[in-house]
Amino acid sequence: MADEYRISSADLGTIERNLSNLGGGIETLANALDQVNGKVEGVAQEVSNTQDKLTQLAEEFHAFLDADTRAKELQLAETRLVKVRQELDTVFGHYAEVRRHTVGILQASDVSVVRQDTIKLASEELMLNAPRYWLAPGLVALSAWLSDNRPLAENAMKEAVKRDDNKSSLYFALIARRGERRQASGAWLQRFFSLQDPTDLDRELVVLIDAVANGVFGREGRGFCAQQFDIWLKEISERVGFVEDQRDQWTKALSSKEPSLGAAEYPYLRKYATIWGQMDASLRGARLYKVLENYFTSIFAGEIKALTSLSDAVDEMLDKLVTDFDDEELPKRRDERMLSLLVEEAGDRPAAQRRFGAEKQAFEQKVTFTQLVTNAAMHPEVAGATKATQRFAIAMSRDWIVAALDDLTAKNRAGAPTDIPIKIDSWQGTTRDGADETDLLSSVDSHLRTEEAKRVATIVLKPINWAALVLGGVVGLYGLVTLNWFLLFVGLAGVGWYFYSKSQLDKSKGQVHQHFEDLRDATPKILKAVLAEVVDWQKDYAAADAQAEDLRKYLQSITTEQHLLTTFESGRAVLNK
């Protein structure tokens, strides 16, 4: 019997069920992938948020560290300041008593209320208590002079001169002037000048300039001193490099008054102008002129209240001479000043150091005549100069100040940017005056569209996706024909993966479009704000820069002759000529 083959009608129900299950499985897989993708996006968002928070935290941490450092610096500076002042008091405290006695003896003698024996005794006791101090024998000489004891006066005077010739000569010149002994005062002044080297002067010379500027030495004394200052100036100016030194010195002195910009000024330019450093420096440089004008006009404004009598004026000079200019104390005084600045700047060490750097030269033991004049003009509180001396010093240095100002101004103008490059994200442009808003906005728009197109063009299916589609189709079809469930499943999975990738691609493109849409919304707003600040900056700079010419005219109008007091004698004060 021949074998009989019979094909029964196919029951495809199972296949359909399985295919349906497979379809359900793929759908579940796609949903699961969607969920995973959603979670990945969520994680990415969280990472981004965390990064922002971290950045914020880092900023807060740095701010905290900064504040903490400042607080510690401030606390330390306050403690050290007390210590330095105590040391000054302990080490040099006995000098204070001697100092107080100087003017005390003179004033007591004026009104004849203290017996000469008491004065003599007190001064001799101080002589014993303050060995090596120049003022102690000076005081003995003073009391001996008042009690008409010439041999003792001469001996004490010799000792004082031996201990510190400069200060003693100036001291006796002032005392003789107080007693209206013009000849003696002139002789001491001559001696004082003969000891000086205009390139290596002691700081106390400022007391003499003060005395001259305040009219203490009278017309002859003033003439004599002016002549001497002229000789010094000629001598110094013949030195090689003097002019350059003077210009540098004044440039530094003027620059020391440069203001800083407020932290809230020009927030957009700070962030988006690539040459903000240059713009900041130019504006600070230009704002300096107004600061300087205010500084100089405040010095020259109003009358200087003159002391009513010659003795009061001399007493003030004597007080200053004996108090502020002892070189032994200088290192401590320097420390004290630095610590005071640190306290004033609330612990901000760089700011305190910047201020101290500008004043540092005023703490040098030896200075040139011109440096001394510069210090008196620009750092009067450190140099120990009065307003009258400041006026005199500025008037005397006028031409150098103008020359330094001219160089400073030209340097600042040369550094002022003509074109301002801007960078917002990936867009870059340049503006000159902020008036080209339309062109720049159009440039932003076209840049963003180009960038968007470039970015979208990179979002394409990978070759593996295409391979999955083709191979999946072929394998799936083969599986279907041969009823190989496994191949059918693999084939459908490949095709399914292709469509899933494609849908993700569209999603990514959508995100890119959204991102650029946001940029198209935000960037023009930022650009407009930047351009508005460019306009403001230029107005600000131009207005500040124009002050340079006003300052120049003001400085040129200052004359030496106008700025000498004639307090204690009638007649016109003419210093140099």
Partner 1 sequence: MGRQVIFGSASTARPPELTVAPPTSNLIQLSKADLERRLRTKRSARYLQAMTKLDAGCHVQDPKAVDALIAAIQEELPEVTIEKLPLGIVARCHLGNGYEVHTMDRAGGIVQHYKTCQSLPALLERARSLALHPQYDFVEVYVDSLLAVRTTGEVSLITT
Binding site for partner 1 (CB under 8 A): 240-241, 243-244, 406-407, 409-411, 413-418, 432, 548-549
Q: Whole-number minimum distance, CB 550 to partner 1, in Å?
A: 12
Q: Whole-number minimum distance, CB 406 to partner 1, in Å?
A: 4
Q: Whole-number minimum distance, CB 433 to partner 1, in Å?
A: 11
DSSP string of 460-516? ---HHHHHHHHHHHHHHHHHHHTT-HHHHHHHHHHHHHHHHHHHHHHHHHHHHHHHH
Q: Whole-number minimum distance, CB 421 to partner 1, in Å?
A: 14
What is the distance, to the nearest Å, from the Cα of residue 178 to the centroid of all Cα atoms in its chain? 45
Instruction: Determine the Cα–Cα distance for residues 320 and 171; give it in Å rounded to an integer.
Output: 11
Instruction: Determine the Cα–Cα distance for residues 146 and 126; give it in Å rounded to an integer.
Output: 17
Q: Whole-number minimum distance, CB 407 to partner 1, in Å?
A: 5
Give Rg (Cα) of the chain. 43
Instruction: Determine the Cα–Cα distance for residues 154 and 391; give it in Å rounded to an integer.
Output: 38
Helical axes 330-344 vs 13-111, angle rounded to 10°:
130
- Nearer residue to partner 1 within complex by CB, 191 or 398: 398
Cβ atoms 336, 84 nearer than 8 A: yes
Instruction: Determine the Cα–Cα distance for residues 416 and 403; give it in Å rounded to an integer.
Output: 20
Q: Residue 9: in which H helix or E strand, if any?
A: none
Q: Which long-range contacts (CB under 8 A, 24 or more apart) does 561-565 make?
A: 562/395, 563/213, 563/300, 563/388, 563/391, 563/392, 563/394, 563/395, 564/212, 564/213, 564/215, 564/222, 564/388, 564/392, 565/213, 565/214, 565/215, 565/304, 565/306, 565/388
- Nearer residue to partner 1 within complex by CB, 360 or 413: 413
Judged by DSSP in three states, 428 sits in strand
Instruction: Determine the Cα–Cα distance for residues 547 and 399; give it in Å rounded to an integer.
Output: 18
Q: Whole-number minimum distance, CB 278 to partner 1, in Å?
A: 11
Q: Whole-number minimum distance, CB 442 to partner 1, in Å?
A: 17
Q: Whole-number minimum distance, CB 32 to partner 1, in Å?
A: 59
Backbone CA torsion sign across 187, 192, 195, 197: negative
Q: Whole-number minimum distance, CB 420 to partner 1, in Å?
A: 12
Cβ atoms 494, 475 nearer than 8 A: yes
- Nearer residue to partner 1 within complex by CB, 286 or 394: 286
The CA-atom distances, in angstroms, between 531 and each of 345, 423, 431, 438 are: 35, 12, 8, 11
Q: Whole-number minimum distance, CB 243 to partner 1, in Å?
A: 6
- Nearer residue to partner 1 within complex by CB, 308 or 556: 556
Using CB atoms within 10 Å of the CB of residue 34, give its burial: 0 to 12 exposed, 13 to 18 middle, 19+ buried.
Answer: middle
Q: Whole-number minimum distance, CB 411 to partner 1, in Å?
A: 5
Query: 365: Cβ–Cβ under 8 A, 6 or more apart, which residues?
Result: 202, 203, 327, 330
For the record, the structure tokens of 25 come out as 């499985």
Instruction: Determine the Cα–Cα distance for residues 323 and 329; give it in Å rounded to an integer.
Output: 10
Instruction: Determine the Cα–Cα distance for residues 535 and 159; give it in Å rounded to an integer.
Output: 70
**φ/ψ bin of 347: left (φ > 0), alpha (ψ from -120 to 50), beta (otherwise):** left
Q: Whole-number minimum distance, CB 435 to partner 1, in Å?
A: 12
Q: Whole-number minimum distance, CB 565 to partner 1, in Å?
A: 33
- Nearer residue to partner 1 within complex by CB, 27 or 433: 433
- Nearer residue to partner 1 within complex by CB, 241 or 350: 241
Instruction: Determine the Cα–Cα distance for residues 126 and 121; give it in Å rounded to an integer.
Output: 9
Instruction: Determine the Cα–Cα distance for residues 269 and 278; give it in Å rounded to an integer.
Output: 11
Q: Whole-number minimum distance, CB 430 to partner 1, in Å?
A: 10
